[in-house]
Amino acid sequence: MEGEHDVVRRKKVLVWRVGGVGDTVLLIPVLRALRRHFPRSHIVVVGNPEPLSLAIPPADEVRSADEALWATLFSRPSDELKDCLKNFELAVVYTEDEVLVRNLEGIVGRVVCWPPLPGDETHEAEHLLKALQALGIRDEDPTPRIEAYKDLELKGKVLAVHPGSGSPEKNWPPDRFAELILWAEELGVSPLLICGPADRVAVEAVVDALGRWVPIAKDLSLREVAGLLARCSAFVGNDSGIAHIAAAVGTPTVVIFGPTEPKVWAPVGKDVRVVRASSGRTEDVPLQEVQEALFRMDRALPPSTSSLSRPSRTSETNSKV
């Protein structure tokens, strides 16, 4: 006799989640859980296609929410849309748009609707997974793991540094990043600045603070960024989508948080350390705390130099605000 999930296993599953890079990385545990419970289904994710490229697998297909096809979901569904969705037995949608949900319910076999953001301090990855409890799916691992990346070669120990974010108030001061780079070089670790489309000003400020050129990775797709970060010895950056990618490829990751709540938005992983000042201002995070966080991760720094260059507790205490 067929169980509740058997029909879905043979059909298509739609997941709707529109968001940025970090939002999308935190959706991966949901897709992995759906894949595990419905292994024979075809999973289609609709949202922002560039970050969603990191989600294949576990998803099978990515569609842009900006496609004209989806526009009628917000009014009266077109025949073309109905035809596209006729073989979908399940839709998991992260939205509070009642019209979209009602229209899907008239086309798709079953619709699970869930708010895209938590209303409390539940971590976003765990919040997104809670939507699946309506399907009897519980106790899933909330740790994102990116499998979809281009494998790139790097030589030696490399510290990836990402000085940008979605907001200037999230950015650690450029002179602090410059000091971190100089310190890493003293340990024999090569720095690599990560520059995304919106990071040019932040990266240039770090280079100006250094007073000389350092290697910069720019104009890369997110799959290429993921592949590069997977080869790095460690990552240090602000609260951003790039930090989520670093953690999701298993790279030891130190994230500097400012006004955003890390209980909700910190990258998830066993090799993730969050550094945050009690004031909630990134400029109040001392260099020594970031150094200390790197030392607490075994794979982040050369073992032969860690004990010699470890920042002292005295200097760390004196520098705190």
CATH value at residue 232: 3.40.50.2000
- Whole-angstrom distance between the N-terminal and C-terminal Cα of the chain? 65
Residue 293: name the closest of 271, 318, 277 by CA. Answer: 271
pLDDT of residue 151: 75
Q: For the chain (length 321 residues), average pLDDT per consecutive 10?
A: 51 95 97 95 96 94 95 94 94 96 95 95 97 96 89 86 94 97 94 94 96 94 95 96 97 96 95 95 96 83 52 35 24
Residues 178 and 302 reside in one and the same domain: yes
pLDDT of residue 303: 61
pLDDT of residue 231: 94
The tally of domains found in the chain comes to: 2
Q: Residue 212: inside a domain, yes or no?
A: yes
- For 211-258, where are the E strands, in sequence order? 216-218, 234-238, 253-257
Residues 165 and 264 reside in one and the same domain: yes
Residues 56 and 176 reside in one and the same domain: no
Report the run of H or E that residue 82 belongs to, with start and end. Answer: helix 79-85
Residue 241: name the closest of 19, 56, 55 by CA. Answer: 19
Please answer whether residues 13 and 93 qualify as being in contact, where contact means their C-beta atoms are separated by less than 8 angstroms: no
Residue 54: name the closest of 208, 230, 204, 180 by CA. Answer: 230
CA distance 262 to 108: 36
The DSSP code for 160 is E
Residues 97 and 188 reside in one and the same domain: no
Residues 121 and 200 reside in one and the same domain: no
Q: Residue 203: inside a domain, yes or no?
A: yes
Residues 179 and 86 reside in one and the same domain: no
The DSSP code for 300 is T
Residue 12's domain spans which residues?
A: 6-135
Instruction: Name the one residue in this structure whose structure tokens are 């922002």.
Output: 48
pLDDT of residue 10: 61
pLDDT of residue 300: 67
Q: Residue 149: inside a domain, yes or no?
A: no
Q: Is 154 left (phi over 0), alpha (psi -120 to 50) or beta?
A: beta
Q: Residue 100: inside a domain, yes or no?
A: yes
Q: Residue 152: inside a domain, yes or no?
A: no
Q: Residue 151: inside a domain, yes or no?
A: no
Please answer whether residues 83 and 71 qualify as being in contact, where contact means their C-beta atoms are separated by less than 8 angstroms: no
Residues 210 and 72 reside in one and the same domain: no
